[in-house]
Structure 1
Amino acid sequence: MNRPRVLSTLVAAPAAVAAANILPAATWLPPVRAALRPELDGRGRADHIALTFDDGPDARSTPAFLRELDRLGLRATFFLQGAAVLRHPALVRCMAAEGHELAVHCWEHQPPWLPRPVADRRDLERALAAVRETTGTEPLWYRPPYGVLTATRWWAARRLGLQPVLWTAWGRDWQAGAGPDSVLTALRARLSGGATVLLHDSDRNSAPGSWRVTLAALPRLVTLCRAASWRIGPLAEHGSAAVRGGTAGPERSPLTG
């Protein structure tokens, strides 16, 4: 037995598995997903903006967003953490009753890099079940924590019938020191007709109090979109490739097709 060769193979195997797992996460980079997977980039109809929020429900902040969206006459898509859904079921039912679209974010934020095929599947199953059983709705969408779509997360989502989608424009509203002006500036960098906008209705995984910045920026974003004659709504009304069935068929890696 060639022990050095065996040992080098044993060392290389986990590295190869880890590399294969993380390769699809290159879609975190906007040019990569825009070029290779436009449905992940959240591109929809040219006259529409999909408004989405991550990390809720949060009893401290989400009700303020619901009130503001109602005042603005808007509905949005909320990517929910399953553990928080179970802590705040009445709030989640209220979100659904008010016409907002509920989607799956995670069970709780976990480091994304290591291969976790069993754990990723289990966590997504729990989160999906929490939304489904709390509201009686069937989520369509999945956005992974940090926007890192590893191979195991992709596989788990597709096995559960969830369509992964990231975003076109984000406000970087989670950062310490962010303000309404910086959020609008960050959004404008990639904001155009057909974009999916990512914001956060909770500071659970963000800088403390950052949700107040997002809330203050929201009406300014709406004014900007309406001035451009872009309608604003949830992903279900976005007319994206995923909604039209553009990603139907066998499960595929976001890079290999």
Structure 2
Amino acid sequence: MVTFGLTAGVAYGLPSLATLRRARIRLTPRLAGIGTPDHVALTFDDGPDPASTPLFLAVLAELEVRATFFVLGSQVQRAPGLAAEMVAAGHELGVHGWDHRSMLLRGPRSTHDQLLRTRDLIAEVTGQPPRHVRPPHGILSSGVLLAARALELTPVLWSAWGRDWTADATPASVLATLAPDLRGGATVLLHDSDCTSAPGAWRSALGALPELAARCDDAGLRVGPLAEHGLFDHGLFARV
């Protein structure tokens, strides 16, 4: 019985190995968000947050850039009007979970139920059913993959990040961290809220956006949401 439980636990958590960014880029590029070579997908996690997300929307509007926001259901519940505003502005919402608890700490039924709850709330308040899911911390489990298949959600993690959630992050540090992986086909991870990170950390990502967009433009790269990134909805991790 102990052996069975251990084996089952290992199997349940095995997909979490995809959290290793370099490995997933090499072995599962679609899961890492590697898309069209002339496009960079811009994504944000943990919102919507009335204190910070409107500032991101304003900068993105000025830059004429749209993005994908992986939102928490609990945050959407607190600010449904803001979620609707994001979609009305042309941005895409994806499922990040109801809260930020690791999916490895949830069983299959709990995982399915809270992803379903988040998906349905997004659809209700925006009129647009989400297409993508990114679990908190980018940690997958068998439960996430099974729920994603049942709910017709495609898991997408990222290939480049700015480490913008830390207390000492600055726009310059975000850009420097992104630089080695900022190339055509990349999916960029940033945060538009500090609800799960250091207070005010979102300012580093916000301040980096104009230069990030400029660098992509100089390289001849389009910046936009995952919907324009050329990912297939029927990949290895999309309908497992």
Q: TM-score, normalised by structure 1?
A: 0.90
Q: Which residue of 2 aligns with 1:56?
A: 47
One of 34, 51, 64 as aligned partner of 1:73:
64
Higher Rg: 1
Alignment of 1:145-156 (within 5 A): 145-156=136-147
What displacement does 1:158 show?
Answer: 1.4
Q: Flag structure 1 segments of 5+ consecutive residues without an equivalent.
A: 1-9, 253-257
State how many pairs are aligned. 240
2:218 aligned partner:
227
Q: Which residue of 2 aligns with 1:157?
A: 148
Gaps of 5+ in 2: none
When the two structures are superposed, what TM-score results if normalisation uses the length of structure 2? 0.96
Paired-residue identity, %: 49
Structure 1 position 206 matched with structure 2 position 197 = yes
Alignment partners' CA distance in 2, 1:117 and 1:101:
27
State the partner residue of 2:30: 39
Identify the residue that residue 3 of structure 1 maps to in structure 2.
none
Contact 1:21/1:115 (<8 A) preserved: no
- Three-state SS of the structure 1 residue aligned to 2:104 is coil
**Residue of structure 1 equivalent to 2:17:** 26
Aligned partners of 2:155 and 2:237 also within 8 Å: no
Aligned-pair CA distance for 1:12: 2.1
* 1:121-200 map, 5 Å: 121-200=112-191
Q: Secondary structure at the match of 1:189?
A: helix
For the Cα contact (< 8 Å) 2:104–2:140, is it kept in 1?
no
Deviations 1:182-238 (A, max 9, x none): 111111122210100000000001111001111001111111111101000000001
- Output the CA distance in 1 between the equivalents of 2:195 and 2:9: 28
Match of 1:105 among 76, 84, 96: 96
Looking at structure 2, the residues matched to 57 and 114 of structure 1 have their Cα atoms a distance apart, in angstroms, of 24
Offset at 1:114?
A: 3.4
Give the distance between the partners of 1:176 and 1:227, measured in 2 at CA. 30
Residue 42 of structure 1 contacts residue 166 of structure 1 at CA under 8 Å; is this kept in 2? yes
CA-CA distance at 1:33 after TM superposition: 1.4
One-letter amino acid of the structure 1 residue matched with residue 30 of structure 2: E
Residues 18 and 115 of structure 1: CA distance in aligned 2, closer, same or farther (over 3 Å): farther
The Cα of 1:246 is off from its aligned counterpart by 4.1
Offset at 1:126? 0.5
Shift, 1:248, TM fit: 8.9
What's the secondary structure of 2:183's corresponding residue?
A: coil
Across the aligned residues of Structure 1 and Structure 2, the Cα RMSD in angstroms comes to 1.4
* Cα distance in 1, alignment partners of residues 102 and 83 from structure 2: 26
